Amino acid sequence: MKDTDIKKLLYTHLLCIFSIILSIFIPSFFLENFSILETHLTWLCICSVSVTAVNLVLYLVVKPNVSSKRSSLSYKVTRFLKCCIYFLTSCFFFHVIFVLYGAPLIELALETFSLAVILSTFTTIPCLCLLGPNFKAWLRIFSRNGVTSIWENSLQITTISSFVGIWLGAFPIPLDWGRPWQEWPISCTLGATFGYVAGLVISPLWIYWNRKKLTYKNN
């Protein structure tokens, strides 16, 4: 494992974190009364678009997983459409999960779906960028000893940390503190965001710390 690969991973993650920071501060210059709490749904949309755009650009530039398949126009269009279907399916799947876990079915449905979109942005989008619409590869990565590169190792960590973050973010909601950020789904989205950022920071450091122990099938 080369240290240059780990540095490339670190710089990529720092740019992803920077995209989230930009989604917090830049819109306030153009939108009146913009804030994470007061205009939460607007921020969710901006954050989702920002993170998605940065992920797409970075993976196109870095190309951590070069496909050996043909690259004809029809193949690219089909692949893009499949990715869109996977993303939408992920959003609806997470939405159903949230409802099953107690989110309002009709009331605040838009807020619940927005939470599903931001979680899909933090988890599904990186999977699609790295692996494409290949569900078998997704299962391989999230199975034991299934990763074949530091990028897939990092994908494991950031995805799991996003789920842990949104789970922890749900704990303050039933408490009677009366804080504005306890409204559904603000604490969950903040938890998912903090979890995603934590994963982006932790994964390169963990890989660097364990670089001598890590072995991959393709190395």
What's the one-letter identity of residue 85? I
Q: What is the pLDDT of residues 41-70, one digit of tens each?
A: 999 999 999 999 999 998 888 767 655 555
Distances (CA, A) of 142 to 83, 196, 207: 19, 17, 17
Mean pLDDT along residues 87-96: 97
The per-residue pLDDT for 210 is: 85
Which tens digit of pLDDT belongs to each residue from 5-28?
889 999 999 999 999 999 999 999
Q: Per-residue pLDDT for 127 more than 70?
A: yes
- Model confidence over 205-218: pLDDT tens digits? 999 998 877 777 65
pLDDT tens track for 98-110: 999 989 888 899 9
Q: How confident is the model at residue 219 (pLDDT cuts 50, 70, 90)?
A: very low
pLDDT for the residue 167:
96
Query: Which tens digits make up the pLDDT trace of 130-149?
Result: 988 988 888 888 876 678 88
What mean pLDDT value characterizes the chain? 89
Cβ(53)–Cβ(20) below 8 Å = no
Rounded to whole angstroms, how far apart are CA atoms 43 and 22?
11
Task: Please report how many Cα atoms fall inside a 13 Å half-sphere around the Cα of residue 48, on the Cβ side.
Answer: 20
Taking only the tens place, the pLDDT of each residue in 140-173 is: 888 766 788 899 999 999 999 999 999 999 999 9
CA torsion, ordered 131, 165, 99, 53, to nearest 10 deg:
-40
- Looking at residue 135, what is its pLDDT? 86
Per-domain residue ranges of the chain = 3-62+75-217
pTM exceeding 0.85 = yes
Share of the chain above pLDDT 70, in %: 93
Does the pLDDT value for residue 1 go beyond 90? no
Contact between residue 122 and residue 51 where contact means Cβ atoms under 8 Å apart: yes
Cis peptide before 185 (omega within 30 of 0): yes
Q: What is the pLDDT of residue 18?
A: 95
DSSP per residue over 29-87, as a string? GTSTT--TTTTHHHHHHHHHHHHHHHHHHHHHHH-SS---S---HHHHHHHHHHHHHHH
